[in-house]
Amino acid sequence: MAVNNEIIPIYYQLKEILISKIRDGEFALGDKVPSETELCNTFQVSRITAKRTLDEMVHEGYIERIPGRGSFVCHTHIEHALSQFYSFTEEVKRLNMIPSAHILNLERIKPGKELNKLLNLNDEYVIYIRRQRLANNRVIALDHSFIPEKFYGEIDKEDLLENSLYKILERNGFRPDRAVESFMAASLSKEEAELLSMKEGEAALKVTRNAFHGKEAVEYNYRYYKNDCYTYSIELK
């Protein structure tokens, strides 16, 4: 790839080249990226352009600078093909990353009218789970799940830390086998932005899921993905 488009700023072209190499796996998590001098020599750009390129990548969370050592890839990007049912935990493992979560809420609540309708309930209790979802110790998403208590069972925080939510539901005989998802851009509140290390009002990818086991609605979920961390793709025929 060459830096040669006269309309697009050179630093931006160079940044896109390096980001592409990260997403393609040429630069893996923890790898050292070219220094300013190396970028100048390889792409025949000025020192100012090379510095701005790396500064922008630091700001966007792709790399981190370690004084005296250089710049290293710290970005975690997940690409998911929409072809079959999936769970966040299994998807992260498939990409050879380590999934984890910070549990912010795990409680038994009385659902409102809309949630009763979504989960086909008759004023029954649900388990509300709010988590920061991580891949390789980097926050990727802010996740909200609502599961009918009759499918989830007793609240056990340690169990949820050690097992995926769907593994718990599977153990109880109600693992989701199909889901309906929708996608949209959504502005983040101050609290949501802080939990995702983003700015208030910034747009995130909001994914809403209604999951079923047979005809039973077993989960209503919505999550906000960091806007630079997750890509969905679908094959059209």
Cβ of 113: how many Cβ atoms within 10 Å? 8
Residues 6+ apart with CB under 8 A from 177: 85, 212, 213, 214
pLDDT < 70 regions, the chain: 1-6, 75-84, 96, 228, 230, 232
pLDDT in tens, 120-174: 998 899 999 999 998 877 888 999 999 999 999 888 999 998 888 989 999 999 9
Q: Which two tokens stand for residue 42?
A: 């390889």
Q: Which two tokens stand for residue 68?
A: 């005296």
DSSP state, residue 34 = P
What are residue 81's phi and psi, to 5 degrees? -90, 125
Q: How far apart are CA 223 and CA 93, in angstroms?
A: 19
**CB-facing half-sphere around the CA of 169: CA atoms within 13 A:** 22
Q: Which two tokens stand for residue 114?
A: 């809309």
Residue with tokens 């889901």: 179
The closest of 195, 193, 192, 127 to 165, measured between CA atoms, is 127
Q: Which two tokens stand for residue 85?
A: 């049912």
Instruction: Collapse the DSSP code of 183 into the 3-class scheme (helix H, G, I; strand E, B; otherwise coil) and give the result.
Output: strand
Q: How far apart are CA 223 and CA 227, in angstroms?
A: 12
pLDDT of residue 83: 66
pTM, rounded to two decimals: 0.70
